[in-house]
């Protein structure tokens, strides 16, 4: 029997100490289902340390991300309060190993989600939508992993910044997305890259959560997944992401040591 809790401790320590580890699947053999168990056990360790759950994230909802990372299945993981950075604020990079940033769309739920929703129903479960960026930070050396590895590592979740909320969910089927470092465009694309319409990420989130026998409380965040490939995040950068018709969000990075 493989010890899922011991593996969860290993990956949680890597995140907590910002110390990269070898891919788990090079020394252990486990299924995708086990990987979600490891993910859950590692999140429980965070909860025991006082972090609280604020929502979920989807990964690999765009071709750009699948191609960049060589993985081709939709995945999901948890977001906790310590990951949330202030819009317009300063983000210290010391808690990360090799952070990258990617442009996303974030939804806020208005009702408990306890079953798979249809595309028609999805917007009735939503309170608001905002432009967002996710900071991902694989705990694996060289940011390389298999599908099972990345799921066990809570899908590389590390940070998020959310811009101003809007209540109108229309107009995001094909909105322009631009991410800039110090005014220079580093990634550009469209929200259409996210499953053809980022609202489909809400449908997928409802499906994945209920498949796992879980319920997503009202007031949760759903990060829809990156619209473009991710970009390495250096210290001293001003990072800005604009989504057409939705608005923008930004932050500046620094490093103490």
| Closer of 12 and 102 to ligand OOG (Cβ) | 102
Region near ligand OOG per CB under 6 A, out of 48-56, 60-68, 163-171, 235-243: 60-68
Footprint (CB under 5 A) of Mg ion, residues 208-227: 226
| Closer of 223 and 237 to ligand OOG (Cβ) | 223
* Angle made by CA atoms 162, 116, 55, in degrees to the nearest 5: 25
Minimum separation from the CB atom of position 102 to ligand OOG (A): 6
Chain center to CA of 54: 12
Q: How many residues at the interface with ligand OOG, by CB under 6 A?
A: 15
Tokens for 96? Answer: 């990360």
Q: How many residues at the interface with Mg ion, by CB under 5 A?
A: 2
| Closer of 230 and 237 to ligand OOG (Cβ) | 230
CA–CA dist 173, 137 (Å, integer): 28
Footprint (CB under 6 A) of ligand OOG, residues 98-157: 102, 134, 136, 138, 150, 155-156
**Cβ neighbour number for residue 88 with a 10 Å cutoff:** 12
Q: Tell me the backbone φ, ψ of residue 188, rounded to 5 degrees.
A: -140, 145
Tokens for 198? Answer: 């980022």
Region near ligand OOG per CB under 6 A, out of 18-26, 28-36, 56-64, 245-253: 56-64
End-to-end CA distance of the chain: 41
Report the residue from 30, 36, 60, 78 that binds ligand OOG according to the rule CB under 6 A.
Answer: 60
| Closer of 4 and 159 to Mg ion (Cβ) | 159
What DSSP state is assigned to residue 32?
Answer: H
- For residue 120, give every residue at least 6 positions away whose Cβ sits within 8 Å of its Cβ, in sequence order, or none: none
Report the residue from 34, 85, 134, 137 that binds Mg ion according to the rule CB under 5 A.
Answer: 134
Instruction: Find tokens 């319409």 and name the residue.
Output: 197
Q: Which of 161, 157, 9 is nearest to 95 (CA)?
A: 157
Footprint on this chain of ligand OOG (rule: CB under 6 A): 57, 59-61, 65, 69, 102, 134, 136, 138, 150, 155-156, 225-226
Footprint on this chain of Mg ion (rule: CB under 5 A): 134, 226
């Amino acid at each position: 029997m493989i010890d899922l809790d011991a593996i969860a401790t290993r990956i949680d320590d890597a995140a907590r100490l910002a110390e990269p580890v070898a891919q788990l699947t090079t020394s252990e053999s486990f299924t995708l289902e086990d990987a979600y168990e490891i993910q859950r056990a590692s999140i429980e360790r965070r909860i025991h340390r006082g972090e609280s759950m604020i929502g979920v994230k989807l990964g690999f909802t765009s071709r750009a991300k699948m191609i960049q990372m060589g993985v081709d299945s939709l995945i999901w993981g948890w977001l906790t309060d310590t990951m949330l950075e202030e819009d317009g604020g300063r983000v210290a990079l010391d808690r990360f190993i090799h952070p990258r940033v990617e442009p996303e769309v974030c939804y806020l739920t208005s009702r408990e989600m306890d079953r798979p929703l249809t595309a028609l129903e999805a917007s009735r479960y939503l309170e608001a939508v905002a432009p967002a960026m996710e900071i991902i930070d694989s705990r694996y050396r060289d940011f390389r992993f298999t599908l099972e590895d990345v799921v066990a590592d809570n899908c590389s979740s590390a940070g998020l910044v959310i811009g101003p909320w809007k209540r109108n969910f229309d107009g995001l089927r094909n909105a322009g997305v631009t991410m800039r470092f110090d005014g220079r465009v580093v990634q550009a694309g469209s929200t259409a890259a996210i499953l053809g319409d980022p609202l489909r990420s809400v449908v997928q989130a409802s499906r994945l959560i209920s498949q796992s026998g879980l319920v997503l409380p009202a007031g949760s965040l759903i990060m829809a997944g990156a619209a473009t490939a991710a970009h390495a995040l250096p210290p001293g950068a001003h990072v800005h992401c604009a989504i057409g018709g939705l608005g923008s969000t930004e932050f500046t990075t620094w490093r103490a040591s």
